[in-house]
Amino acid sequence: MKKIIRGGTVVTASDTYQADVLIDQEKVIAIGESLDAEGAEIIDAAHCYLFPGGIDPHTHLSMPFGGTMTSDDFTTGTIAAAFGGTTSILDFCLSSKGQTLQEAIGIWHEKSRGKAVIDYGFHLMIAEANDAILEELGSVVEHEGITSLKVFMAYKNVLQADDETLFKTLIRAKEIGALVQVHAENGDVIDYLTQKAIAAGHTEPIYHALTRPPEAEGEATGRAIALTALADAQLYVVHVSCAQAVQRIAEAREKGWNIYGETCPQYLVLDIHELERPDFAGAKYVWSPPLREAWHQETLWSALGSGILQTIGSDHCPFNFVGQKELGRDDFRKIPNGGPIIEDRFGILFSEGVHAGRISLNQFVDVTSTKAAKLFGLFPKKGTIAIGSDADIVIFDPKATRVVSANTHHMNVDYNPFEGIKLQGDVVSVLSRGNFVIRERQYVGSTGAGQYLHRKRFAKP
Ligand code: URP
Ligand code: ZN
Ligand code: ZN
Ligand code: ZN
C-alpha cells in the first residue's frame, strides 16, 4: 500500500518547502503540493519537518574493546538509533594482524545478520598492510561494497598501526576508490604520558584526558594529512575534538586537498571537567579523544558551519558504568573507552545547532545525513528526500521538547552522558524504506528488517 505524508515541511541539504511526499513500497515516488492520495495511507505531518533519515557514520556495536564488549548489539543499538532519528549506520569492523580481511568481515556479518532494524554498512579497520592484505582490498571494495578503510594512529599495542601501514593503505585506497579514515592521536606520545602519570600515582579518570593533550591530536591529524597529500589520496578524520585538529584540516582544505572531518555531539556540548565528577563518575565520560576545555566547542561549531568539518558521527561505543567502566576504578587505563551517543546525536544537533542559531536547518540535514551519504557511497539512495530515493524519513516536531535521561532512553546502558539536558524538538515518527520503525514515539519496527548496505566507491562530493 502506498503512503502519503501530508502537511509537512520537507527539508534537504539545499531546500526547505512545504509538500506532500508519496511513498510506494520502499521509495519516494512523488513530491508536490496536493498530491493525489487515492488508495494511499495518509500520514499527517502538520507543523512538522520531514528530514532525510539520519546517517550515523561512526558506531561500535557488539565490539570487543578494553577487555569487555560494547553493551549495545545490532538490535538494541539500531532501535535506539531509530528512536533518535537515524535510519542508517556505518559500523567499524575490526581486524587483527594475521587475519584475512574476509575473516574479519565475516565476523561482523555474523554479529549483524538478521539483527538490525535499520540499514547498516561497515567500515573496515586495517591492522597491517602486507601484500596479501593490499591485494585483498580490491575484492573488499568490489564484492563487499566496503569503500572506507580505518587506520588507528592511537591505542598502542592494541589497535595502533604505524605510518608505513597508513601510507600503504592510502596509496591502495587511491587505486581502488576507497576513503581512508583515521583515529588521529599520537599513540606513542600518549603511551609515554600515561606511563608517567601512573608512575606518579595519578590513577583517576581525569588523567585519561590529561595524558591525551589536544596537540597529540593536532600532530597526528597533520601527519595523516601530509601522508595523504604524498599519496594523492583522500582522508576522513573521525571524531575531531579540538582546535588544533580543525586548524590542520582547514589548512589542507584551503590547499584543495581531499581532506574531510567528522565531529561528535559530545565534543560540541560537554567539556573536560566532566571527568572530574566525584565517586568515579568521571569514568562515564572517558573516551578518546577526550573531552576538551570548553573553548574548543565554539571552534568545532564554527568549523561545522563553514564546512571545514562535514559530518556528525556519534562514535557510539557504550559501556555500562556498573561492571564495565568500573573496571578502571584503580587505574584510568582500564576504563573501557567510549560512550553511549547513538540515540541523541540527531536531537542534540537540532537543539544545540539549529535552535541555538549555530547552524541552519539545511546545514543540519547536511551534517547529520547528506554529507555522510555522499562521502560513503550511499547518495542519492540515502541522504535526501527525492524521487527515487529510499523513503527514509524522520517526522520531527520542532515545537516539542524532551529531557535526555537514562530512565527513558533505549540504549542498553545504565547512564546517559547528556542526562538532564533539555532538547528543543523531538522525533515523532521514523520510516525506513517506507516502513515505520517508530510511529508516534512507539517502536513498531522488526528485528532483521535492516539491510546490509553495499556502498559505491569514493567520489569527491
Ligand atoms: O573512546 C572511543 N572513541 N572508543 C571507540 C573507539 C574509537 O576510538 O573510536
Ligand atoms: Zn577512535
Ligand atoms: Zn578548565
Ligand atoms: Zn569510534
Enter the ipTM.
Answer: 0.96
Please check whether residue 244 lies inside any domain of the structure: yes
Residues with CB under 5 A from ligand 2 (ion): 183
| Total structural domains within the chain | 2
Give 25-71 as a DSSP string: TTEEEEEETT---TTPEEEE-TT-EEEEPEEEEEE--S-EETTEE-S
Please check whether residue 383 lies inside any domain of the structure: no
The minimum-distance atom of ligand 1 relative to the CA of 337 is: 1
Scored b (16 or more CB within 10 A) or e, 414-448 reads: bbbbbeebebbbbbbbbbbbbbbbbbeeebebeee
Average pLDDT over residues 277-306: 98
Q: Check whether residue 405 and residue 313 sit in a common domain.
A: no
Please check whether residue 68 lies inside any domain of the structure: yes
Average pLDDT over residues 324-349: 98
Question: Which pLDDT band, with edges at 50, 70 and 90, does 45 fall under?
Answer: very high
Q: What is the pLDDT of residue 151?
A: 98
Average pLDDT over residues 301-327: 98
Take atom 3 of ligand 1 and give the residue whose Cα is closest. 288
% of the chain residues with pLDDT over 70: 100
Ligand 1 contacts CB of residue 60 (under 6 A): yes
Ligand 1 contacts CB of residue 382 (under 6 A): no
Out of 60, 159, 212, give the residue to mutate to test ligand 1, the one with the largest number of ligand atoms within 8 Å of its CB.
60
Q: What is the mean pLDDT of the chain?
A: 98
Tens-digit pLDDT profile for residues 421-440: 999 999 999 999 999 999 99
Q: Check whether residue 44 and residue 63 sit in a common domain.
A: no
User: What is the 93 CA–ligand 4 centroid distance (Å)?
Assistant: 11
Q: Check whether residue 209 and residue 244 sit in a common domain.
A: yes
Tens-digit pLDDT profile for residues 137-155: 999 999 999 999 999 999 9
Q: What is the pLDDT of residue 347?
A: 98
Q: What is the pLDDT of residue 6?
A: 97
Q: Check whether residue 34 and residue 89 sit in a common domain.
A: no
Please check whether residue 457 lies inside any domain of the structure: no
Q: What is the pLDDT of residue 422?
A: 98
Domain that residue 153 falls in: 54-375
Q: What is the pLDDT of residue 120?
A: 99
Q: Check whether residue 58 and residue 42 sit in a common domain.
A: no
Average pLDDT over residues 158-183: 98
Out of 153, 275, 315, give the residue to mutate to test ligand 1, the one with the largest number of ligand atoms within 8 Å of its CB.
315
Question: Which pLDDT band, with edges at 50, 70 and 90, does 72 fall under?
Answer: very high
User: What is the 371 CA–ligand 1 centroid distance (Å)?
Assistant: 22
Tens-digit pLDDT profile for residues 9-44: 999 999 999 999 999 999 999 999 999 989 999 999
Q: What is the pLDDT of residue 145?
A: 98
The minimum-distance atom of ligand 1 relative to the CA of 92 is: 9
The cell numbers describing 259, all together, are 581532506
Q: What is the pLDDT of residue 220?
A: 99
Tens-digit pLDDT profile for residues 220-231: 999 999 999 999
User: What is the 62 CA–ligand 4 centroid distance (Å)?
Assistant: 13
What's the Cα-to-Cα distance from 133 to each of 136, 182, 196, 350, 370, rounded to whole Å? Answer: 5, 18, 36, 41, 31
Q: What is the pLDDT of residue 258?
A: 98
pTM of the model: 0.98
Task: Residue 434: give its domain's CATH number.
Answer: 2.30.40.10
The cell numbers describing 143, all together, are 564484492
Q: Check whether residue 314 and residue 361 sit in a common domain.
A: yes
User: What is the 221 CA–ligand 3 centroid distance (Å)?
Assistant: 23
Q: What is the pLDDT of residue 29?
A: 97
Please check whether residue 452 lies inside any domain of the structure: no
